[in-house]
Amino acid sequence: MTTVLRDATPDDAALVADFVRKLADYEQLLHEAVATDADFAKALAEGSISVIVAERDGAPVGFALWFKTFSTFTGKPGVYLEDLFVLPEYRKHGIGRMLLRELARRTLSIGATRMEWSVLNWNTPAIEFYRSIGAKAQNEWTKKRLDGAALANLAE
């Protein structure tokens, strides 16, 4: 079996949306996954996001969705990995590592100094996988979110 990585295009929006919904279902957050194919097509066309698709023998089996960030501390760009997902039947075959390795290469190629992402506290398999590649928890930071009514209220 051959695994190939390729960049997604706006024509892959339905595939990206499907992977996002599958990831959300795994994370028990499917009710929050409201993005449409059109949302992903627009984001891909505008360059707001980039997506690497993993294909095994021509069939899509996983993806990494990321975007550029900037560190004011280093004065350099960074990369934020928003989603990493491999279909359950293709896990433990090196595909996740292949996607992360490619993203690490791209991170370095743009002069970025870091790759960051979040993982749910209960997702022990992912935490162990990330630890195995040398990722370190950033426990001194607490992630915050402002959305919905709270975001609207602040904006008024």
**Among the listed residues 58, 86, 63, the one whose alpha carbon sits nearest the alpha carbon of residue 13:** 63
Query: Which of these is catalytic: 26, 80, 90, 130?
Result: 130
What is the largest distance, in Å, between two alpha-carbon atoms of the chain?
Answer: 55
Nearest-10 Cα torsion for 20, 24, 27, 29: 160
Name the token pair of 139.
């426990």
Q: Is 39 exposed, middle or buried (0-12, 13-18, 19+ CB in 10 A)?
A: middle
Known catalytic membership, residue 130: yes
> Which residues are designated catalytic?
130
